Structure 1
Amino acid sequence: MKSTKEIKEIIKSILEGSELFLVDVSISADNSLEVYIDSLTGVNVGKCREVCKKLDAQLDRETEDFAITVASAGIGYPFKVAQQYEKNLNKEVEAKLLTGEKIQGILKSYSDEGIVLECEEKVAVEGKKKKSLVKIDKSIQFKDIKEVKDIVIF
C-alpha cells in the first residue's frame, strides 16, 4: 500500500477544481483505507462514491488487496483542517482542552494560532444578588486544544 502522504497527494489531485477538500486519511494494518472529505456546502453519497471510484482507479489491486471507504467528515467529526473552521464560522462548536475542560460557544474566528469562541458565563453584576449570564469572547490557543467539534442543536 502506498504511504499516507502519497494517498493524500492522489486525493488532493482528484479533488482539485471541485468544492471538495480532504480532511483526513488513515490506513489500517489490514490495508483498509479511510478517506474523509468535506465541502463548505456538505457532501452527499454520490460525491463520496465518485471520489472512491477515482481513487480506486489510481491504486493497483494487482499488487495489493485493500478496502476503500470514502465518507463525509460530518457532524461530530473533529476539525482537522482550516476549511472545517471556515465552514463552521458563527455556528455552535465545542472545544475540548488538553486539561479535559470543555468549552462550548459560537465560533467567531480562527487563525493559525487559535480560535475565538463567543461563550456565555455567569458573572456577578453589581447591585444584583444572582449572577447574570453575559456573553464573552474567549481566545483559545491551538496548543491548548485537544479537539474541536461542531454541535448540532435541534
Structure 2
Amino acid sequence: MEFKKRIEELLNEFLVTREDLFLVDLKISAGDDITVILDGDHGVTLQDCLDASRAIEFNMDREEHDFSLQVMSAGLSEPLSAPRQFRKNIGRDIEVMLNDASEIEGELAKVDDEKITLILRYRKPKDIGKGKVDVEEEKEIPYSEIKKALVVIKF
C-alpha cells in the first residue's frame, strides 16, 4: 500500500473513534516528514494529539519505512478552512480576506455548508446634518469567495 494512503487510512480509523475531532491538514514531505493538524468541536488537548500520533505510529513499521511524525492542534494563528471550524467560532470576531483582495472584519453570526454570515458594526456619516451614526448589518459570504479567514485575537 502506498505510504500516504496508509497514513490517511490510519488517521481516518482514529477519527472514526473520536467524532469530536476532525482533520484540518495532512502534509507529507518528500523526506517522509508527516505533519497532522487536528481541530475539535471543543478544542484539542495534548492527549488527543498523543492518541492520534499513537494510532499512526504503532501501526507503521519503521523498518519498512522511516518517517517523522508531528501531530498538532490548529492554533489561533491557523486560518479557518472547514465549516466545522467556523461553527466552533460563532460569536467571535474574524477577519476574512476575499478572493478579490478586499478584507472584512466582523462577528461570526451564522454558519452553514455554503456560506458564513458576519455582523458588521461601523460608524458612518449621517444622511442629514453633522455627526455619525452607528450601523449594524449582516453580510453573507460564500466559502467560494473566501481566500483566508482568521480569528481576531483581542487582548
Q: Which amino acid counterpart does residue 133 of structure 1 have in structure 2?
A: D
- Following TM superposition, the consecutive aligned residue runs of length 4 or more in structure 1 with deviations greater than 4 angstroms are none
What is the aligned partner in structure 1 of residue 21 from structure 2?
20
Shift in Å, 1:29 = 1.4
Paired residue type of 1:73: A
The unaligned stretches of length 5 or more in structure 1 are none
| RMSD, aligned CA | 1.8
Counterparts in 2 of 1:27-42, with a 5 A limit?
Answer: 27-42=28-43
TM-score under structure 2 length normalisation: 0.88
- Taking the aligned partners of 2:91 and 2:111, their CA distance within structure 1 comes to 11
2:87 alignment partner AA: E
1:59-138 → structure 2 map (5 Å cutoff): 59-138=60-139
- Percentage of pairs with the same residue: 31
Post-superposition CA distance 1:65-91 (Å, at most 9, x none): 111100001212112222101111111
Residues 141 and 62 of structure 1: CA distance in aligned 2, closer, same or farther (over 3 Å): same
Equivalents in 2 of 1:6, 1:100: separation in Å?
38
- Residue type matched to 2:94 in 1? V
**C-alpha contact 1:93 1:104 (8 A) present in aligned 2:** yes
TM-score, normalised with respect to structure 1: 0.88
Q: Deviations over 1:7-61 (max 9, x none)?
A: 3332121122322222111111111111011112211222211211111112231
Determine the C-alpha separation between the residues in 2 that align with 1:34 and 1:74: 14
Q: Which runs of 5+ in 2 are unaligned?
A: none
Contact 1:119–1:137 under 8 Å retained in 2? yes
Letter paired with 1:47: D
